[in-house]
Amino acid sequence: MTQRTTNAVIQMQHVTKRFGTKEAVSDVSLEVPQGQIFGLVGPSGCGKTTTIRMMTGVYTPTEGQMRVLGATPENFEKRVRERIGYMPQLFVLYPTLTVWENLNFVASLYGLNWFRRRKRLKMLLDFVELRSARDTLAGNVSGGMKRRLELACSLVHNPELLFADEPTAGVDPVLRGKFWEHFRQLKAEGHTLVVTTQYVSEVEYCDQVAVMRNGRLLMVQTPDDLRRQALGGEIIRLTVDAEDELNARRLLHKMPFVEQFSRPHGAPTGTLDIYVKDAGTALPEVIGGLGQDPTIDMRHAEEYKPPFDDIFIILMERAAETDPQSVEAEVINV
């Protein structure tokens, strides 16, 4: 890494993981600052879960160095592990125990005393909205409720650092939104979260996003900077009367801060996307410039942020063009 962050809870330096001859993660360097929601995003099979498992000490890097909470993951001491929570992809709790019994069992593993435990578990049941299901066998609750139970169990000991590996995989959009409400609340309470996801629209909720493809780290950016990197700037979406589009194009050509403009695919005549470096400063100039022509009837102008589905397609296509290695089929859930 070129620069070290003093408040980083995770530091990876040139980390590679091989399974036999297959390189699952290749030369990854990143840092996760304290108190953030840090997203790991990319196509299925890109190395997200392998990266998480190295961070938690399940896998040992083949090459490179890694520190989590100041310690080497494969050598975690008990006191360090107790500061970490882990929500795996698959349901790993006991289907023949009730929701409450599963929570109680996990709490016992961390040595929580009975009086402290009961208060904590009741709070967690409310947090994940499972109080009404507390006496239901875990094997009999819905898939979404199982995911919420796993989240509650990963939080029993109030960990400083939480890893959530594709926590919203296979759940409906309403429940996905609730999960992210929980994550934002945890962040507000001072927790650090590392969350993997295939749903690229969820990067909007992260403070920083690491984009992975074929085991490689493409970039670490804020969500807004991901858009700028993909688009080469920002977009102003302009709408004028259809008969005024030619005049609007003529004036836009004369504006030096306008890098390019085009009609969005499928949009009606009169709608233009204007590419600029900074939409905040360019927007009033666009409005003022077009306002000099009284024949142009401007209906609407505002900064436009394309959905992250589109942004990730751009980033993945660009990476495919520059990657010299052969590429296997990849899937992004949008």
**DSSP states of 199-263:** BGGGGGG-SEEEEEETTEEEEEE-HHHHHHHHHTSEEEEEEE-GGGHHHHHHHHHT-TT--EEEP
Could you tell me what percent of the chain has a pLDDT over 70? 95
> What is the chain's mean pLDDT, rounded?
90
Cβ proximity of 138 and 169 under 8 Å: no
- Tell me the pLDDT band of 53, cut-offs 50, 70 and 90: very high
Report the DSSP pairing between strands 8-19 and 63-68: antiparallel
Q: pLDDT of 308-318, one tens digit each?
A: 888 888 888 88
Total residue length of the chain: 334
Q: Could you tell me where in the chain the CATH 3.30.70.940 domains are found?
A: 232-304
Q: For the domain with range 232-304, which CATH number is right: 3.40.250.10, 3.30.70.940, 3.40.109.10, 3.40.50.10130?
A: 3.30.70.940
Which residues are within 8 A (CB) of 324 and not within 5 positions of it... i.e. 6 or more apart?
none
Backbone angles phi, psi at 267, to 5 degrees: -80, 150
Tokens coding 284: 């009033």
How does pLDDT run across 229-274, given as a tens digit for each residue? 888 899 999 999 999 999 999 999 999 999 999 999 899 999 999 9
DSSP string, 130-146: -GGGTTSBGGGS-HHHH
Q: Pick the closest to residue 166 from 297, 310, 49 (CA basis).
A: 49
Per-residue pLDDT tens for 287-333?
999 999 999 999 999 999 988 888 888 888 888 887 655 444 344 44
Residue range(s) of every CATH 3.40.50.300 domain in the chain: 8-228
Please tell me the predicted confidence (pLDDT) of residue 329.
38
pTM for this entry: 0.82
- Which homologous superfamily is 8-228 in? P-loop containing nucleotide triphosphate hydrolases (3.40.50.300)
- Average pLDDT of the residues in 205-210: 95
pLDDT of 107 over the 60 cut: yes
Cα–Cα distance measured from residue 244 to residue 208, given in angstroms and rounded to the nearest whole number: 41
